[in-house]
Structure 1
Amino acid sequence: MMLALTCSWPAAGQTAPGAPAGSNPIIRDKFTADPAPLVVGDRLYLYVGHDEAQRDEMFNMREWLVYSTTDMQHWTDHGPILKVADFKWAKKDAWAAQATFKNGKYWFYAAVEHDDTHPGKAIAVAVSDSPTGPSIDAKGSALITNQMTPKGTHSWEDIDPTIFTDDDGTSWIAWGNRQCYIARLKPNMIEIDGPITEITPPHFEEGPWLHKRGALYYLTYASLDRSTHRDEKISYATAPSIRGPWTPRGELTGSGRYSFTIHPGIAAFKGKSYLFLHNAALTIGDLNGAIGRRAVTVEHLIYTPEGLMKPVVQTDAGVSVPPSR
């Protein structure tokens, strides 16, 4: 059972009474989840799923929203960038997504439920001339379907895409639930180029995020040791190449408050690094946080001289205070 909170919050872009700008959660007028940042010039765009679950619903997600900031303190609401209904072959579930820029376009990769022609979860790709949309289905069909990963154990393994473009211009997509997959993308960004490879790290549950810093590659993900825990944490692995080998580095964070799920998104912005997550510690009106009513947060991210990420403590203050080194 989720704990009830007694506070309520004003709209995004404002702060709660007594709460400084930059404190958590960063969006307070809607329930949001699965944050995915994208830096474009001097602005950071944040793509999130919109949790609309009522009362006893588990998940009700029909669209993706986009926000932006220039200072990590104040956020502009740009509204929906895309809805599940924009993919005519998909029938529900606007699950985790990530956007990237390449070839002069903004590409948006998202997890949805495919219609009955390809049962199970699938990954869609949309395209836009702007980071805030409007976006359209770039392919007219799924990029990845459940039938493309036949060794998986369940029908919802093909979720949570992360997109990474390496220094040589090659783009990669990783995704998965309980199994973590990676594949190269063709330059057109709407086709897989070569085999799909499994790279599942220890206790991988879902929500992979790829990024690179210096010569080191990072695979950050929602982890769950089912023998000892009931809620996801964030763990990560590193590698000298996008092809591995991946070395597990352990837990980066604990669980999100009142939330079974958690989802990492990482960005370097104006000389600092940030880790985006979600919890379920927001109340809006008479709706408390829950598995289908989550709230996006952000924390400072610090690296050691060796390139490892220091453990992150989730706070209410968020980035309203300087990072603790």
Structure 2
Amino acid sequence: MKKKSALIAITVFAISAVHAVWADNPIITTEYSADPSAHIFDGRMYLYASHDRKDAKEFDMNDYHVYSTRDLQNWRDHGVALKIADISWAKGHLWAPDCGYKNGRYYLYFPADATGKYEFKVGVAVSKSPSGPFAPEAEPIEGVNGIDPAVFTDDDGVSYLLWAAGAPQIAKLTPDMKHLDGKATALAGCDHFFEGPWIFKRSGLYYLTYPAFMKGGSGDGGNGQYYDYATAKAIMGPYTYRGHFTRTQESQPWVGNIHGSQLEWKGKWYCVYHDAGQSAGHINPGFKRSVNVDLMSFGADGAIQPLVWTKAGPPQLVPIDPYVRNEAETLGGSDVPEGPHAVATEPCSEGGVDVGPMKAGDWVKYTGVDFGAGASQMTVRVASPVNGAQISLHLDRLDSPDLSTFAVPNTGGGQTWRTRTYALGVVSGVHDLYLRANGSVAGVGLLSLDWYRFTRASKKAAGD
């Protein structure tokens, strides 16, 4: 049904600027996330990760979210893709997952405790979409006892499943991607192997990366791991150990492990991995990790060069086009997951997810919005159960002067949606855009956001 939108005029000064836009690490700020497996599907980078709970006392995860991006900066939370309650054989501990594609279907491989005694098996769930939701098979995959599954499809179309069970295990998958095609092989040459095997191929060489044993670290009375790798000319080996390319950070002594994936996209190589910087100062920080992404490089001999961890991350690939509908949950940043102004996503009554409910002072960031010659209106899909809620807009910094402040009406409920259009003075150029919720009612949800879109200014207005 079409809905009429209200137009509310707000007077602001015309603002124009262009600035370099870089990604922020960690890349997911609404939730804790870890053990990331990244793939390129349909022109986007998709991220399949463990979901560390905010109340975590151990690694007892109970669902998976899927995230994706087109620009390496603004990541969309697609919501819960699979949860423990949907898996009949699983008792708990949904650890590191991965996803593969074949024949028009996406296959999510996941480990879970099958008995309640830390006896792990690996299952598979299927979806028509890379974002899910995924429907699990009734039983785990026969012959796969272990953790940290990863799927690799070679140039000839044959797919393989890897997992950790003392040593890295590998086996072919059947064409339907649901069973092993033969017995597993333990890969030799992976010195100091701990967990989390991942394979990628570059210039005809297979790289097997994995979290590795560190003296005095995890499994040896303390915290910390190296990230090691081995290479081979054939996927089944033999592999040659090549050493470390990074490790957990000494500045985060509470972090027990490192885990991730590596991939090429648009001519650049990326390492996606986790740390636990966002959980500093909170209870049980070692069980609350966060995903980062950084550029990686190789030497002339194919050696992975030491990974440089950055706060900035890699450059944004393309800016946000504000003149099309943009989902509010495609975020460039927010307060940390347990911060005083943390935000989250929630199921939306109109489908998908939204951002909310946002309390007074909560904020979200959209990085690298290219307004071009100028925008003069903003349209938002918003819900609010209270009177007096407002949204303020800020450019480039949260503490910058208000670009504009919008009154959000009481729509009749936190999932009762209305489309509102607000007039702006002309804003042009490339900016980071911050939206902050404001209101006099403290500690309660003021509003939720579903999507936003801007309208171009007329040529005359843009030139004034």
| TM-score (norm. length: structure 2) | 0.59
- Match of 1:207, SS state, is coil
- Match of 1:78, SS state, is strand
The equivalent of 1:242 in structure 2 is: 235
The equivalent of 2:91 in structure 1 is: 91
Equivalences for residues 253-292 of structure 1 within 5 A: 253-256=246-249, 257=252, 258-283=254-279, 287=282, 290-292=285-287
Q: How many residues align?
A: 290
1:300 alignment partner, one of 291, 295, 304: 295
Residue identity in the other structure for 1:78? H
Larger radius of gyration: 2
The equivalent of 1:174 in structure 2 is: 162
RMSD in angstroms over aligned alpha carbons? 2.3
Q: Residues 13-70 of structure 1, C-alpha deviation per residue, up to 9 Å, x if partnerless? A: xxxxxxx651211111211111111101321111111101526x12231111111111
- Match of 1:108, SS state, is strand
1:269 Cα shift? Answer: 1.2
Within 1, Cα distance between the matches of 2:214 and 2:234? Answer: 26
The equivalent of 1:126 in structure 2 is: 125
- Match of 1:204, SS state, is coil
Residue identity in the other structure for 1:315? T
Within 2, Cα distance between the matches of 1:112 and 1:106? Answer: 19
Note if contact 1:108-1:126 (Cα within 8 Å) is conserved in structure 2.
yes
1:214 Cα shift? Answer: 2.1
Q: Residues 59-91 of structure 1, C-alpha deviation per residue, up to 9 Å, x if partnerless? A: 231111111111111111111111122211111
Note if contact 1:172-1:184 (Cα within 8 Å) is conserved in structure 2.
yes
Structure 2, gaps ≥5 residues long: 1-20, 318-464
Within 1, Cα distance between the matches of 2:92 and 2:26? Answer: 26
Within 2, Cα distance between the matches of 1:185 and 1:296? Answer: 29
The equivalent of 2:334 in structure 1 is: none
Within 2, Cα distance between the matches of 1:224 and 1:320? Answer: 32
Equivalences for residues 1-325 of structure 1 within 5 A: 21-54=22-55, 57-115=57-115, 120-137=119-136, 139-144=137-142, 158-200=146-188, 201-226=190-215, 230-256=223-249, 257=252, 258-283=254-279, 287=282, 290-320=285-315
Within 2, Cα distance between the matches of 1:164 and 1:134? Answer: 21
More strand by share: 2
1:184 Cα shift? Answer: 1.0
1:101 Cα shift? Answer: 0.9
Note if contact 1:279-1:295 (Cα within 8 Å) is conserved in structure 2.
yes
Using the aligned pairs only, state the percent identity: 37
Distance 1:321 1:70, change over 3 A: closer
Residue identity in the other structure for 1:296? V
Residue identity in the other structure for 2:97? A
Q: Which moved more, 1:225-234 or 1:263-272?
A: 225-234
1:104 Cα shift? Answer: 1.1
Structure 1, gaps ≥5 residues long: 1-19, 150-157
Note if contact 1:185-1:193 (Cα within 8 Å) is conserved in structure 2.
yes
Within 2, Cα distance between the matches of 1:125 and 1:307? Answer: 33
